[in-house]
Each structure stands twice: as structure tokens, then as C-alpha cells.
Amino acid sequence: MGVVVTTTAGAVEGRSDGELFVFKGIPYAAAPDGPLRMQAPVPAASWDGIRPALHFSSAPPQLPLTPGTPPLWRPADGLDCLSVNVWTPGGSGDRLPVMVWIHGGGWKAGSSSDPAHDGAILARGGVVLVTFNYRVGFEGFGYVPGAPANRGFLDQTAALRWVHDNIAAFGGDPDNVTLFGESGGGLSIAALLTAPAARGLFRRAIVQSPAARLLPEREAQRIAEIIAAALGVRPAELATQTPLALLSVQDEPLAAMEADPGAWTTPEAITAFTPVIDGVTVVDKPWLTMSSGVARDIDLITGSTHDEFTLFALSRGLLQPSASTMIKGLPTFARMTARGLRRHGLPRTRRPSQLHTVDLATTAAHLGLPPSAPDAYRAAYPGSTDAQLYVVMYSDAMFRMPAIWLAEAHTAAGGRSHVYDFTWASPALGGILGACHVADIPATLGNTGSPLATFVLGGPRPPESLLRLSEQLRSSWISFATTGDPGWPEFTPTHSLTRIWNTDPTVTANPLAASRQIWQELSGP
């Protein structure tokens, strides 16, 4: 059954599934094409009559997941991708809490049409759930002379402005909006907390596994120069190249970054396109800017998965499943990688013959830690192998410490923070992944049948323990979005009370104390 809602640009028709009203593919900005290419988003043109909102829009330009698999985007799809989707159990005048999910994907992949990001299950809990697309890869974050930086972030702000102006018509409360997102989506939210243009557009934020990758402007320029050289053009001509041409060389800078990591400020070369510290869209690292109190009026949840980097270490040949697991699990792992992991910006795995050894001294240097860091980690985590310490060190540098620093800065500035540690260990591949990066996405949104979930949960039938955990976590996130209380005490620097998300959630003090002390003594934010 169709249902019509009037937005500021015109009427849209969604559908009812009996419990929810669902609207897909509503434009929040004009297609970033022609004279709008590589520019800040502008509002979508208004329309007459009723516009169908029954299908997702095209995805932003990005490469196919792997050769031979269906791509999320094709050149024929064009660039009309800046759209929002709404799942709502209410209608105009209800003023339900609003939750806006920002997907990750290494800032070079991802789309709101991904089944992993479907909003129906959370919306049934009594919130208006919104997802949206934003430009990724070079289109969203590549340096273009004379063009604004961080166009993907500008898209996100435009989507939030659309929510503020329109969500009441869908039954939402524009004064009670909670942002939540994971990895690149998590850092997006951390940046939005301190972005002047986003002030007043949301009340609460849930930052999951914020990816600690921010580039100084000069390094973004170097990346653009490498891209331009690969295409045989000048950097000033990059805006005139087709999306497909840019995609064909988007990973060219990774070789230079991996060959000389000491020449770059980012600790891991997974993607060449990350937010740029331009002094306008991103003033500085969010955990530094937050200390000014710029977001003290916004309630915050932040945290990470406990074993963030196992997935990446496995892909780099630094961890190896048992022989029996490899025989049974790796074909499935390869399939799931092809279908799901690549769209989340995650790398492919190496074959057993490509396994590498770990040099912790080099690891420390890459992370900006002093030569004493490996010994400090060995003392803090006795009995761990070098490969396990590699995982801990990179987990800390890339995700775990940035989440803690964000809470520390926010709390010190007078804000309210809550911290969590997601420790539920996946049984996939004999348990080698542990509580890996992206393991919290199925638990957060409840979509346990997506390709990503099928891989990370170890099969098409999710463990009962994960289903129980998901129900509790979703209830907590909805409670926070509704009242600001997620169900566990606030974080303070002296007590550092932390929610441990596992089958039976608990609260403990400072579970990452050892890593926090190492970084405090040896490096800092």
C-alpha cells in the first residue's frame, strides 16, 4: 500500500509493510555532475506531482567488489546518487526519536542499498531510521585544485540538513536526532561533532570504531599528483576525468604509501582517500578539537571492537587459521569477501603461501611509537605472539585509542560520554577473528542475513549468543537516542567505566588500561 509524504522539494510516495512506512531514494541534493562535479552539494530541484520513493538510488561511483562479481555502481548509473532512505513507524506529528546511520567503507566504497545497512529492524523498535549515500573515493575525498575538500563530508552535512528540514513529516523529531556509524562512518561522525556547518543538526552521537585516518592537505595533494600522473594529466585536469577513469587508478598511491610509510602521517595504507584536515570542514583531529568544548552539549557513546585488526592481519598473511578451518572455511571466506567485505572497504586475504612474519620494531615505527614500544606491549600482554601483538598495536592505533581519546576530550570539556568495548568473538574460521572490525554491524542493525553478516558471524545461521546480544545492544542504542541514557554509567577519566558488549553485558573499569598507559607514556593522541 502506498503512502504519500510532502517534503520541502515535493511529495514522495513510499510503501507500507504493515509495521513501517518505507521511503527509498529521495534526493537530498542534485546529482554532482556537469558544473556540480567535484563541488559542494546543492539542494535537489523541486518537482511537481508525486515522486515514487520505492527503490534505492544508484550507489556512488566505486569499483566492483572483485572481478566477476556484480558491481554496486556502473558507468551507466551516472552520478545521481545523493539520496536518503527513511523507515518510520509513525507519521506527521508523532515526534519520534530519529537515528541516522552513516555507513563506512574505507571512504572509497559503500552504499545505503547494502543489505547490511537496512534500517527496518531498528525502526521497529520505535525510532525513525534514516540512511543515505555520500560521495566516496576521489569524487568525495580526492584533492582537486580550487574545489572544496572533503566533499563527502559536505554531502553528509547536506543530508543532515534534509533530515532537520523534513523528518517531522515522517513522524520524527528534528530536535532529537542521533547519528551512529562505524569505521569510516564513525570517524565521519567524530568530524561532524566539530564541524561548524553541522552545528544544531543532531543532539546525540554514537561513534563506533572511529578509523584514525586523517590527511594533512599537502599529503592529499601528493596523492592527487600520483593519480594525475597515472592518468597522464595535470592535477588541475582531474575534475574533468570520468569517474571510471579515476576509479581505474584510485589505488595507485597505495604502493607509494606502503613503500615509504614513514613519509606519510597515516598509520595504515588501506585506502588513499581519507578526510583532509583543511581547517574548515575538518579543523583538526576530532579528539584534539573536542577538547575546546565545541560539542559539549552533544551526548556521546564511543567504543570499538576488542580485536579490531585481526581481519586486516589475516588479509596480510600475518595470522593463519588452523588447517581444518582452512579446509572448511576459506572457500566460504573467499566468497564472503567477494560479496560483502570489499564493499565495506576491507582488503582481500592472502593465501597460506603468502604468509609473512611480523617485525614489531617496524610496526612501532609505522605507528609513530618509539623503539621501546614492542617491549612495553610484550610486558603489558604477556604470553602473546608477535602476530597477536601486531594486532593489538594496530587495533590501538587505528581504532581503540581514538575512541578513548574522543571520550576523554569530550568529558574533560564538560560533555557526557559513555564508552564500550565490543568483545563478542565470532566463531568464523575457527575463532581466529575474535571480536574483529565490522563484527558489531550485524549486532547494531540486526541484519544477520547480509553477505557481511554471513561471513563475520561464521555462516548463514547466526549464533544464538549474537542474536541475544544484538537485541540488548539495539535496545541500548534506542534508549540512548530517546533519553540520552544507554543503560550504563558515564565515562570519567578517573573511573573509566566501560560497557562490555558480550552475550551477557557487564560494566568494568578501564578494560584497556594497559594500552592507554602505553600510548599516554610513549605517544599520546
DSSP letter for 384, please: -
Structure confidence by residue, pLDDT tens digits, 28-58: 999 999 999 999 999 999 999 999 999 999 9
Q: 432: which 3 cell numbers? A: 581466529
Question: Residue 448's pLDDT is what?
Answer: 94
Question: Residue 69's pLDDT is what?
Answer: 63
CA distances in angstroms from 14 to 23, 127, 131, 290, listed in the order given: 4, 17, 15, 39
Mean pLDDT of 304-317: 92
pLDDT, mean over the chain: 91
Structure confidence by residue, pLDDT tens digits, 428-438: 998 999 999 99
Question: Residue 258's pLDDT is what?
Answer: 83
Question: Residue 65's pLDDT is what?
Answer: 60
Q: 286 with 190: CB under 8 angstroms?
A: yes
Does residue 373 carry a pLDDT above 60? yes
Q: 213 with 266: CB under 8 angstroms?
A: yes
3-state secondary structure of 50: strand
Q: 360 with 393: CB under 8 angstroms?
A: yes
- Counting residues of the chain whose pLDDT is more than 70, the rounded percentage is 92
Q: 484 with 204: CB under 8 angstroms?
A: yes
Select which of 308, 417, 426, 470 is catalytic: 308
Q: In the annotation, is 183 catalytic?
A: yes
Does residue 416 carry a pLDDT above 50? yes
For residues 499, 500, 506, 511, the Cα torsion angle rounded to the nearest 10 degrees is -90
Question: Residue 327's pLDDT is what?
Answer: 35
Question: Residue 342's pLDDT is what?
Answer: 44
Q: In the annotation, is 46 catalytic?
A: no
Q: Cβ–Cβ contacts within 10 Å for residue 161, how many?
A: 18
| CATH class label, 305-522 | alpha beta
Mean pLDDT of 279-290: 92
Question: Residue 455's pLDDT is what?
Answer: 87
Q: Give, in degrees to the nearest 5, the angle at Cα 158 between 270 and 223.
A: 30
Residue 417: its H or E element: strand 417-422
Distance CA 51, CA 79 (A): 19
Does residue 338 carry a pLDDT above 50? no
φ, ψ (nearest 5 deg) of residue 509: -95, 125
Around 461, how many Cα atoms within 13 Å sit in the side-chain half-sphere?
1
Distance CA 421, CA 400 (A): 9
Domain ranges of the chain: 2-216+275-284, 305-522
Structure confidence by residue, pLDDT tens digits, 138-191: 999 999 999 999 999 999 999 999 999 999 999 999 999 999 999 999 999 999
Question: Residue 267's pLDDT is what?
Answer: 61
Q: 192 with 290: CB under 8 angstroms?
A: no
Structure confidence by residue, pLDDT tens digits, 235-278: 999 999 999 999 999 999 999 888 888 788 876 667 888 899 99
Structure confidence by residue, pLDDT tens digits, 344-367: 444 444 343 344 678 999 999 888
CATH superfamily of this structure's domain 2-216+275-284: Alpha/Beta hydrolase fold, catalytic domain (3.40.50.1820)
Say if 2-216+275-284 and 305-522 have the same CATH topology: yes
Select which of 58, 183, 188, 209 is catalytic: 183
Strand partners, 205: 179, 300
Structure confidence by residue, pLDDT tens digits, 481-519: 999 999 999 999 888 999 999 999 999 999 999 999 999
Around 118, how many Cα atoms within 13 Å sit in the side-chain half-sphere?
17
Distance CA 177, CA 366 (A): 38
Residue 70 confidence class, pLDDT cut points 50, 70, 90: confident
DSSP string, 78-120: TT---EEEEEES--TT--EEEEEEE--STTT---TTSGGG--H
Mean pLDDT of 223-245: 96
Question: Residue 523's pLDDT is what?
Answer: 78
The model's pTM is: 0.94
**Burial of residue 46, with CB atoms counted within 10 A of its CB: 0-12 exposed, 13-18 middle, 19 or more buried:** exposed
Question: Residue 68's pLDDT is what?
Answer: 59
Q: In the annotation, is 475 catalytic?
A: no
Higher model confidence: residue 164 or residue 281?
164
Distance CA 303, CA 298 (A): 16
Does residue 383 carry a pLDDT above 60? yes
Residue 337 confidence class, pLDDT cut points 50, 70, 90: very low
Select which of 57, 437, 450, 496 is catalytic: 437
